[in-house]
Structures are given as C-alpha cells and as structure tokens.
Structure 1
Amino acid sequence: MPATTQLTPQQQTIRELSDQLVEAQQPLRILDAVNWDDAVKADFFASGESRLPRVDADYYAQRDLGFDPEAKRQELLDLELRIRRKLGEYSPAGAIMRRMCREYGEVVQMLAARGTPTFSLLSRELYGSPLDAFHAGEPTLADFGQMMAETLGEIDRSGLLQPEPRTIRGADAVSMLQTRLAESMPDVHESVTVMPSDGIVSDAAAGSDYIKLRTDALFNERDIRLLEVHEGWVHLGTTLNGKAQPVCTFLSKGPPSATVTQEGLAVFVENVSLATYPERLRRVANRILAVGMAEDGADFIEVYRFFRNQGISQDEAYTFASRVFRGSTPGGGPFTKDVSYSKGFVLVYNYLQLAIRKGKLDRVPLLFCGKTTLGDLHVLSNLVDEGLVQPPAYLPPVFSNLHGLAAWMCYSGFLRKLRLESIEADYSSIL
C-alpha cells in the first residue's frame, strides 16, 4: 500500500477522513454488545426450559458498551459535517462516507436501546425484516423461507440425502481449514490465521485477518468446505481487499447495509461453487421463519420449541433461539440480522443477473474490493476510474474468470422466466 505522502492532496484528504471513519466505528462491536452470557443459558435449562431467560434492559445496562452513546453519535455527526466541508456536497467518496456516518449513528442508537422495543425496530431498519418484499407485488422474505422449508421437507421425505455425521473436533477442523485456505487462496493465505475460540456463539466467525472456530463444535468435511468458501473466500477476501485500499480505507469496514450485501454474496458464492448442502439451507430457512415468528409475537420458548421440533439438539436450539432475541428481550421483538443472508442473496443475484444482461461485467468484481454495498457499486466504478479505489487484488475462483459465471447467469436468466407450476403439470407423467 502506498504511503500517504505519495498521495495527491485530494487523495490525502479522502484518506484522512476515511481513516477517521474507520477509527470512529471501531468500538461498535454489535455482536459482542448483544450476545447473552453462559449464565443466562444455565438458568434457562435449570428451569426445565419452562422460564423465559432472565434478560431485560437492566441486564444489558450492566454490560458496558465500551463507548458513550451520546458522545459517539456526536462524534459521527461532527465527522459527517467535516466530510461535507472538506470534500463538498457532491463528492462521490464523500457521499458514501457521509451515509456510513449516518448508518453507524443508527447502530449506536440501536445498541443504546438494548432491551427495549426500539432495539428491534432499528434492527429491522438496518438489516431488514421477513415481511420485506423484494419488489412491489413480489414474494417476501417470509415466503422465500417457507418455500425453501417446503422443498427441503420433500428432500427429507425422499430419504436419499442423509446428513453427514459431524466427527471432526474443533482443533482438527482448524488445521484442515488452514490447509484448504493455503491451497485455494495461495496469494493471501499467509495473511490469514485459523484459530480455536471459546467466545463465539456461531460455529465460526471471520475477523480482519483470522477465522475463529468454536472449540466445542463438531464439523464434517462439508462444513469445512463451506467455511473455506463463506468465511475465507468472501469475508476474509473482501476484508483483505478493503485493507489494501490506499485511499478509501473505509472499505475495510462495513455498516449493516454492507453486512446484507456481504452475507448475500457469501451465500451466492456457496451456491455457484456447489459448496452448500440441504442441511445448511435448512438453517438459513429456519432463521427466516424464527425471526418471522418473533415479529408475530412469539417468545423465546416458542421459538426454542420450533427449533427442537426440527430435531435440533437442546444446545443448538438454545443457540439458534438466542440469536433471534439477542439485544432484545425474550418476549420482545427480534434482532433481524439473520435474515440478511437470504435477503442479501436475492439482492446480489438480481444485481448480477442485470449487470451481465446489460453487459456491465466490469461491475461484478467490484463486489470484492472491500466491504461494499450494492447501492454504492455505481459510485465505486467511477472511483476506480479516478484512481481512488483499487480493483480487488483477490477474487474467489468462481469470480476470477467471469466466462463461466456469465454463461451460467445467461441460462439462469431464461430459466427463471418459466413457470414451475405449469412445468410440474406437464412433467407429471415422467416424474
């Protein structure tokens, strides 16, 4: 990365403001601020799974956010004004950074409202809701989740695709994933560390230059392949590309709108690389359905029992249910981040479909130049032309050569116009 002294005065100003934005958002550790501790879980099971977890506004008040919400909001407001003053009203890079300031301000407001109804309302604003439609008159995310659940039910009834047992312990999975990343990401794998962790809720989590695997989790070969693609190729890949930006360093970090795009991109890459599998899809579908239940008024125990009825173990059902209500209360509205996977997938798929149809293939790799948001890609394309944003140094295999992806999307664009209901009637005699 070039030293800032090598930048032009305009680039230097953008770089300084971008660095200030990265620093300002640093304490906003959303998941750390909303996750429940082990004592809550122990108390729930001690009650025989009959009492709602003891989580309320006072519970969150005892956990320091690591920043003063009012001071942080003022800092972000001041930075937004400073960006406008120094870059002007219509600077493309400035417009992105100002929007990010406002979005981080909403994150601060949401975290300050932990344990209150406002938390869930702001969560829906930032991450989306199962009731969101993709276009007027089109199906909602809830419809998407229900359709996936019904199809997976038919697959289950066939009895032909049995889940593979999980027998690989966390320590062994760490070594296996590190080896896979060295083979599939040879240019950047030395910048990436896979490590065991006791402090994460999910089985895996990606950071700035690492992937953590939960120590007490069990994995199978498919899980490790999925982690390689989802956490490695996409989440670490976009982070490393963002950190390599010499001017627009804000691309190394992303607000919730970038989370929607990045999680959707990761799910898309899972699919086109054939790394996903029905059990994984069921988890994604169940997340939508569970968040929808909570929006409709279901409490923690009802959502927990929903997961148990799916044949999920007590520990996993608790983990999945707590993901729905973390930051909120066990009888309050949901934290909707888990719908971002499916919402983002559909939005990214639609974007790629249109970009390829219109011959704008140069836009596709920009999804990986950092923690991007779909709405910013047009602006980022112009910033690349101006030399303010560097094209991604790392791309996953399925994106490094667009010939195959472009051909696949051409077929997909036609096939999605066919009505499956009509085809089902015509094919009834041969199925």
Structure 2
Amino acid sequence: MEVSTSKELQAFGETSIEKIIEELREECEIEKHLPGGGYLHMSDELPYLVIYRNEDEDIEKGMDRATVRLILSEASFLIIGNKDFEGYQRLMFCLSEAMSSKFKSFLIIEVFAGDPESRKFKIKGPAGKLSTTIKVLQEQLDDVDSGYRALQLGETEVQDTLQRQPEGKKPLLDLPQLKDSGCLLLGVEVPPVYRSKEGEDYPVFFRSFKDDFVVALHKTIFHFIRIQTSSGVKSYRALGQKHLQEKVKEIDRQLAEIETSYEFLWLVSPANIRHIKDTFFETNYEQVLNYHYRLLPFDPDVLKRRLYNLKLEDVDDPALSYIFREKREELDLQISMLSERGSDSFFYNSMMLFGKISNDLQREAETILKEVNEKEDQDFKSIMKAEDFKILANREFDYFREQDKNFSSKVHVREDVNILMVSRGELYLPSDYKLNANETHALIQHEIGTHVLTYYNGQQQPLKLLSIGLTDYDTLQEGLAVLSEYLVGGLTANRMRTLAGRVVAASARMHGADFQEIFRLLNKDYNFTPQRAFNITSRIMQGGGFTKDISYLKGLVQLKKHLEEGGELAPLLSGKFALEHMPIINELKERRVLTPVKLTPRYLKSEETRKKLGKIREGIPLSQLINA
C-alpha cells in the first residue's frame, strides 16, 4: 500500500480530523504534515502512538533535535506542532477512540527530555492499575541503564500520577477522555545524557543510546499489544516502519552505486594469469612472474569522498543504520585494497575484510586433508568444455524464467577470465574451462542456484544492497553454494580438499609464506597435484594476499552449525547477507519491508535434499559429506 502524503493542514477542523481517520482506514499507513510544524506518521494496523511535542514559537529553535529522533523510526508517531494544541488534543482523542474500537485498547507514550542534570529515566502513569506494562517498561529502561555504567545512571523511577506530561505543559488528554477513548497514556522522561550541559549533542553515543531506547520501547509496546489488544502483531520486531523513507532509499541507492562502479573480483584478478602459469610450470615451479592488474576505472580519493559524504547519521531506523554503517566500512576497505594491489597493505586489509582463520577452522581444514584422499582425474571422455557448461547454464536460467518471467541473465565465455564466477547476476567462465560432468552439475547449483538466484531475489527487494550484498555476505554465500554441491550429489573429494587447501594456503600466507612456499606446502605436504596446487596458490596470492577463499569452508562450517541448531535453509536464499544479519532480515520481513522471494533453486524440491539436510542436522562430519 502506498503511503499517503499531503501539504500541511492549516487548522484542525472536525472535517479535517474525520478525513485523516478515514484516510488512515483506507490507506493503512499515512503521513501528514500538521499545523505549526507538526507531523503524523501512523499505521492502522498498530494500536499505539508515540508522541513528541514542540509548542515553542520558533519551531526550529524549539525542537530538541536529538530527543525527537528517539521516536522518528516508529511506525506510529506524532510530533505536535506549535499551533492549535486543542486541535491536536481532538485529533489524539479521535485517533484513540477509532483505534480502541478496532483493537479494544490503545497506547500513547509521550517521550520528552528531563532536566540537563538528570541521570535517570522516569515513567509517569497509573502504576497501580496497569502495573505489568509499566513494570516491563521499567525493566527495559533499566537494561538500557545497565549498558552505560560509566554514566552512573540511577534506577528507573516510576511515578504513579495523573500528570504524565512534561513539567509545566498541558496534558495531552485528561482522565475522562482517556477512559472514554479506551486509551492508556504514559509519559517517559529521558535523561539527556546524549548531550552536554551546554546542549551540544554527542552523535556517536546518541546513536547507540537511541537504538537501545527504541528496542526497550518496542518490547514494552509489544507487551501491551499482546495482553491488552486484539492486534495480531507477533513480535516487537514488527513495530518499525514498513515503508522506507526517501533518505533511506537514497543512501541505499548510493551505496549500491558506489559498489557497482567497479568490479572488485575482476580488478583483483591478474590479467596475465595464463602467462604466469605457463612460466611457473616451464621453470619447474620456480619462477613467478609479477601479477599485472587491470587499470582502476575510478579515483580512490574521489570515491571515498563520495562514500563519506553520505549522511548516515540522518538514518533513524536502528536496523538500517547498522547495515549502512557496516557497508560503508567494508567499501572503504575494498577501495583501499584496490589502490594497494601488490603491496603488504592489500594483504592486511584483506584479513580485516574477510577475517582471520580461527583454530577450529584450521583444524577442520587439516582434518579434511588428512581423511580425504585426492582422486585421479577422470578420463577425457567425461570432460565438459565451456560451451557445454553454457548450454546447461541456459537451461537453469529457463527454469528460473518459469518461476518469474522477468528473470534475465546471460552466460559470458571469455579468454581474459581465469575462474568461473558470477558478477551482478551474470555468469562468466574461461574459454578453456574443462571439468567432468558430475562437477558441472554441482557448479551449476553453486554459481546459478546460489549466486545468480540470490542476486535476483535481492533485486526484487526495496533495498538494493540485498542484491549487491550486505557486509561479509561472501561467507554465507559460499557456504550455501558449497552446500548446494553436496545436496545435488556433486561435492567430490577433490573439491572438498580444494576448499580445505585454500584455508591452509591462506594460513601459510598469514604466517609469511611466499608463492613457491605455499605451492610446495600444498604439493608436497598435502599431496595436491601441481595443477590444483597452482590454482589454489595463485588465487591466494592475488593482490599480494587475497584471503576471500577461506569463505568457502568457513561458510560451510557456519551453515552446518546453523542447520544443526534447527535453522532453516530457504530463508537464507532471499538475498546476499551474512548469517549474523538474520535477526535484521527477520525484522524487516516482520515489518513487511521485505517481500516474498521470487526464485527457489531446483534442488530444494527434491526428496534427496530433505534426506541429506537431515544428515547434516544430525551432525555428520564435513569430511564425510562426499561419501554421504
């Protein structure tokens, strides 16, 4: 449903209030500019309203810009302007009456800042009559307090009083109006610890404080809704706005544009890989030519300036603010890496970007290499070439088009590509690509059933970053892709060894090993063929040390644990994100910001997949997946 907007109302006549309520019923969610700089954002599906009042003559000077931001991410909030307060009172009474008729009860919470010296939250309300809701609010605000012990905040104070408004202000509604409209009114005085005594805000601290306060408010509101109303809200996470604000859309668009202004993997890959390989083998594994990289299509300084000109501080939605800030840090690292290719700085930033290798991951890799033996390559008759792979890939694209006619993607066979990869939903493969038929079936699901599919599913969402990828999305993406190989029966011994070998190679690079040392480690100590040892080593040594390849086994380990703990697989295919983003993804789904997915992979519908997922949930070791 589209959000309705209008120009500022000049006055609150009875007709205009009736029109607001009628429009709310018809549109489900409305936005209204109101007299004196007021503003209403309300959902017809949520029986609550959070209020901030500004009655000062000078709306710009009078607005407490930090405190008002505590409520701006709410699905239902009202900012009271500096004109016609009686009209606002009539509006609140009528809204309360209408919503109580629909949901049996209605909640209004007024939020305001306390005295500059205040160091405690204060709750004003009928503590004796509705003690459970107030108790929950008290507990939640005490939790906020506990997170800032250095400030020595006092315990939340509950005042059982009829005066629930700020000191010296008129009440929003009097007691008879509250009874007649079926409304509970609470006042929440917030200690303004997010600014100095002189009124100067602490922006970094305020962001954290605001996010914690919003969660406390939502948990309290959900408790009231669940106990006192007939609303079907199922979680406190559903209480945020379901329509993205324009400033949010703009920041999302610009972050996506910055990332798509360059091809990260393409620019990290050497353009002369064939020459490097030929020379290395011709010199009996001794000579390693310098990597030559493609020219940067951008000025790093200019791109970083654009990145940090984005006003992320204006995003009040805690979930979106978090993923935007994460993404900006990741893009900053990527841009730095591209300008530092071939240097030690590239490698150090790579470790920051993709993470270090945990002891558990190292042990898992070594166990696989110890327990899984290298298999001889199959004879040439079972080998498929690039054009054969292209035919199978196009068949999979046709399967996606059966689910959504708007799906479109292409296969590109190129001589200047050294690895099979997906970029922005398009499939690229080397012209001399060769692999056996079983591996082809597995890689179809790896590249198309995972990477292309999640790109397209993410594209259908209002957040562009879900197709481009939230921070650290690679780990889950590659874990899903490798899992798909197992589910379709194509996870071979050599493939599993390759994933483990990448971890061992990255670990060696982290300990200072060079190209020849890593190659010999894989070839002599772990019995990789020279061909496979070179492929693993050359990828790890891109840029000076590119540790993205640890994501495959790392992601599989994380995904296995997720499934063992009862997690589902299908929701992970709705876009490109990390496992740690699932609470945010679930929140955005509950708020109906995100829509149902368009595409599901072929393998999810098979009985064989169900059985194999069952084995994983039961704890089968990774080294046995190739035999299961």
Alignment correspondent of 1:323: 539
Residue in structure 2 matched with residue 83 of structure 1 by the alignment: 312
Which residue of the other structure, out of 336, 350, 354, is the alignment partner of 1:109? Answer: 336
The residue identity in structure 1 corresponding to 2:312 is I
Superposition pairs for residues 335-374 of structure 1, below 5 Å? Answer: 335-356=546-567, 361=568, 364-374=569-579
Counterpart selection for 1:175 from 391, 397, 414? 391
Query: 2:378 corresponds to which letter in structure 1?
Result: E
Residue 258 (structure 2) aligns with: 24
TM-score of the superposed pair, with normalisation by structure 1: 0.78
Deviation of the 1:318 alpha carbon: 3.4
Matched with 2:599 is 394
Per-residue deviation, 1:180 = 4.7
| AA partner of residue 547 (structure 2) | T
Deviation at 1:109, TM superposition (A): 2.0
SS of match in other structure, 1:327: helix
Distance 1:404 1:278, change over 3 A: closer
Residues of 2 paired with 1:398 and 1:319: CA distance?
A: 29
Residue in structure 2 matched with residue 51 of structure 1 by the alignment:
287
* Conservation of the 8 A alpha-carbon contact between 1:369 and 1:390: no
Pairing 1:146–2:366 present: yes
- The answer to whether the Cα contact below 8 Å between 2:441 and 2:488 also exists between their aligned partners in 1 is no
Q: Hey, what's the Cα distance between the residues in 2 that align with 1:8 and 1:101?
A: 31
Q: Is the CA contact (8 Å cut-off) linking 1:229 and 1:275 kept in structure 2?
A: no
Is the 2:421–2:429 Cα contact (8 Å) retained in structure 1? yes
Aligned in 2, Cα 1:99/1:238: closer, same or farther, shift over 3 Å?
same
Question: Do 1:28 and 1:108's aligned partners in 2 also have CA atoms closer than 8 Å?
Answer: no
Aligned residue identity for 1:120: F
Larger radius of gyration: 2
**For each residue in 1:279-320, what CA deviation from the matched residue of structure 2 results, as whole angstroms up to 9, or x when unmatched?**
211211221222222222221112233454445355x54333
Q: Secondary structure at the match of 1:191?
A: coil
Q: Which runs of 5+ in 2 are unaligned?
A: 6-26, 32-242
Normalising by the residue count of structure 2, what TM-score does the alignment of the two structures yield?
Answer: 0.55
After the TM superposition, list the runs of 4 or more consecutive aligned residues in structure 1 that deviate by more than 6 angstroms: 5-9, 403-407
The amino acid of 1:75's aligned partner reads R
Which position in structure 2 is the counterpart of 1:137?
Answer: none
Q: Residues 323 and 335 of structure 1 are in contact (CA less than 8 Å); yes or no, is this contact kept in structure 2?
A: yes
Contact (CA 8 Å) 1:181, 1:228: kept in 2 or not?
Answer: no
Cα distance in 1 between the residues matched to 2:573 and 2:321: 20
- Seen in structure 2, the aligned counterparts of structure 1 residues 411 and 311 have a Cα distance that, compared at 3 Å, is closer
Residues 3-58 of structure 1: per-residue CA shift (max 9 Å, x gap):
xx999885251323211111011234222222223254455456553234335xxx
> What is the DSSP-based 3-state SS (H/G/I as helix, E as strand, rest coil) of the residue aligned with 1:280?
helix
Bigger helix fraction? 1
Aligned sequence identity (%): 23
Contact 2:256 2:468 in 1 (8 A): yes
RMSD: 3.1
Question: Structure 2: which amino acid aligns with 1:201?
Answer: N
The equivalent of 2:358 in structure 1 is 132
Q: How has the CA–CA distance of structure 1 residues 32 and 151 changed in structure 2, closer, same or farther, with 3 Å as cutoff?
A: same
Of 45, 54, 74, which aligns to 2:305? 74
* Residue ranges of structure 1 left out of the alignment (5+ in a row): 134-139, 329-333, 421-431
**Cα 1:176/1:313, change in 2 over 3 Å:** farther
2:494 to 279, 295, 298: 279
Between structures 1 and 2, the one with greater strand share: 2
Tell me which moved more, 252-261 or 392-401. Answer: 392-401
Residue identity in the other structure for 1:164: Q
Contact 2:337 2:349 in 1 (8 A): yes
- Displacement of 1:148 in angstroms is 0.6
SS at match of 1:211: strand
With over 3 angstroms needed to count, the CA separation of the structure-2 counterparts of 1:177 and 1:349, relative to structure 1, is: same
Secondary structure of residue in 1 paired with 2:543: coil
After superposition, the Cα gap between the structure-2 partners of 1:104 and 1:255, relative to the gap in structure 1 and judged at 3 Å, is farther
8 Å CA contact 1:353–1:409 kept in 2: the answer is: no
Contact 1:251 1:371 survives alignment (8 Å): yes
* Alignment pair present for 1:205 and 2:431: no
Q: Residues 131-280 of structure 1: matches in 2 within 5 Å?
A: 131-133=357-359, 140-153=360-373, 163-166=377-380, 167-183=383-399, 186-188=402-404, 191-202=408-419, 204-245=420-461, 247-254=462-469, 257-280=472-495
8 Å CA contact 2:488–2:609 kept in 1: the answer is no
C-alpha distance in structure 1 between counterparts of 2:618 and 2:429, whole Å:
40
User: Does the 8 A contact of 2:424 with 2:455 survive in 1?
Assistant: yes
Q: For residue 33 of structure 1, what is the aligned residue in structure 2?
A: 267
* 1:415 Cα deviation from its structure 2 partner: 4.3
